[in-house]
Amino acid sequence: MKNLFAAAIAALFAFSAVSAYAEKIDFSKVKCMVSGAAAKEAKSSTWKDGNVYFCCDNCKGKFDADKKAMAAKANHQLIATGQVTQKACPFSGGEIKADKTVEFKGAKVAFCCDNCKGKAEKMSDDDKVAKLFGEEAFEKAKFAKAK
């Protein structure tokens, strides 16, 4: 009985933490990564140290069925909603500079130098998703849960 009570309390705290963070997100600017429609707070899935949001259960189900295939788009949404912060350049892993940034669909990414920034600016939208928000870039940029 004690274990059941402890589990219920832990679940309550976890839900409260997620709900409190979701209150900080401006959902008028969040788009479903599958359809591009407006995302809803109630339609979410856990991804890394945050949540990603969808417009409907169908889109949420597509993500839940194959999260790896949508990793770059999920990472993009974590960045765009401010759930994670960047610590390094996604290309070099070097120290980022505040004046070397590129914004892509609501997500601001910083770079170490003009060469890396220029490389990102020249990319097609599809390449930006893959190369700025893909798993390799996400890891190299040392994105971590926002405090």
pLDDT tens digits for range 60-97:
999 999 999 999 999 999 999 999 999 999 999 999 99
**Interstrand relation of 144-145 and 107-111 (parallel, antiparallel or unpaired):** unpaired
Position 55 pLDDT exceeds 90? yes
In angstroms, how far is CA 28 from the centroid of its own chain?
Answer: 16
28-32, 51-55, 93-97: least confident range: 28-32
Residue 80 burial (C-beta neighbours within 10 Å; 0-12, 13-18, 19+): buried
pLDDT for position 24: 85
Confidence at 126, pLDDT banded by 50, 70, 90: very high
**What angle separates helix 125-133 from helix 71-80, to the nearest 10 degrees?**
80
pLDDT at site 147: 84
CB contact at 8 A, 31 and 37: yes
Q: Which residue has the higher pLDDT, 16 or 50?
A: 50
Q: Residue 7 — very low, low, confident or very high, per pLDDT cuts 50/70/90?
A: very low
Phi, psi angles (nearest 5°) of residue 54: -130, 170
